Structure 1
């Protein structure tokens, strides 16, 4: 977890440093959702005002970092589609107990509640902005994609739901 936090901090810092010289503003947002309980995001609005690049750090029972691009697809710039690379979702990592009939079997359902791994891969996103893309306000974002789990290296489809506020 700590190495992911360091990577996320470095990635967001690098994005901020490299983009502040190119853009007039860098937007910041925080949010919550499922399976990630916390999200911190920096985004770079594009000059055309209807698209943006972003990087975020997602924290839940496991954590991850992702980068992506979104473009508004409606005239009022409230609906946006995008592509995301990195953390897509998190879910059960796999069987905890190696042997049947042990004390571990009794507690496995409880352990499974907290045994999640982030799925890293490539996916698509849909966002609904209550005001407009690149404007302060609330956003609802759905992510779905295909990737590989952190520890077990199992390939799988995964996704997430995030509600956030952009400042």
Structure 2
């Protein structure tokens, strides 16, 4: 279900971006955080200069895409809240071994370190942009939401923390 929502969100965002980016600039940012160690993001500032659409690729022990919209909620355009569809976070998938599998049991601690699954769903975000929402500079973003894990299809709440620099 959430996989379909993610694909639909990308289709919708591609349509919105293609029509809105004609008059607007496209900004680029890179970042790091937890549980995703890397982020590459394209941002499409809106003409009112205090909101933006974005799409990003998140890289970690599992990876994912997300799209979102943020709007500044402070007079100085530094605090922003938003909505996110797609990758919200990543967590351990659970036990990797069956009870009677001795070989897997020996290597289970190593397997557990590498078996994170991305949670895809819908969520909310809060960002603090040190120079303002659509300005070059550092930002910090917290994302929290509810979705479904990639492989095991467990429904769960999840989130992430990202520090990034917008060029």
TM-score (norm 2): 0.87
Which residue number corresponds to residue 93 of structure 2? 93
The one-character-per-residue Cα deviations of 1:32-53 (angstroms, maximum 9, x if unpaired) are 1111111111111111111101
Partners of 2:153 and 2:115 in 1: CA distance:
15
The one-character-per-residue Cα deviations of 1:119-150 (angstroms, maximum 9, x if unpaired) are 00000000001110000000000000000000
Deviation, 1:113, is: 1.0
Deviation, 1:14, is: 4.3
Deviation, 1:94, is: 1.7
SS in 2 for 1:85: strand
Does residue 122 in structure 1 map to residue 122 in structure 2? yes
Number of residue pairs matched?
Answer: 157
Which residue number corresponds to residue 28 of structure 1? 28
Which residue number corresponds to residue 137 of structure 1? 137
After the TM superposition, which residues 13-162 of structure 1 pair with which residues of structure 2 at under 5 Å, given as runs?
Answer: 14=14, 17-21=18-22, 23-100=23-100, 102-162=102-162
Partners of 2:79 and 2:138 in 1: CA distance:
12
| 8 Å contact kept, 2:131–2:137 | yes
| 8 Å contact kept, 2:117–2:151 | yes
Partners of 2:142 and 2:157 in 1: CA distance:
14
Partners of 2:153 and 2:100 in 1: CA distance:
24
TM-score (norm 1): 0.87
- Over 3 Å counting, the alpha-carbon distance change for 1:18 and 1:98 in structure 2 is farther
Partners of 2:91 and 2:114 in 1: CA distance:
9
Partners of 2:20 and 2:46 in 1: CA distance:
11
Which residue number corresponds to residue 163 of structure 1? 163
After superposition, the CA RMSD in angstroms is 1.9
- Over 3 Å counting, the alpha-carbon distance change for 1:64 and 1:18 in structure 2 is farther
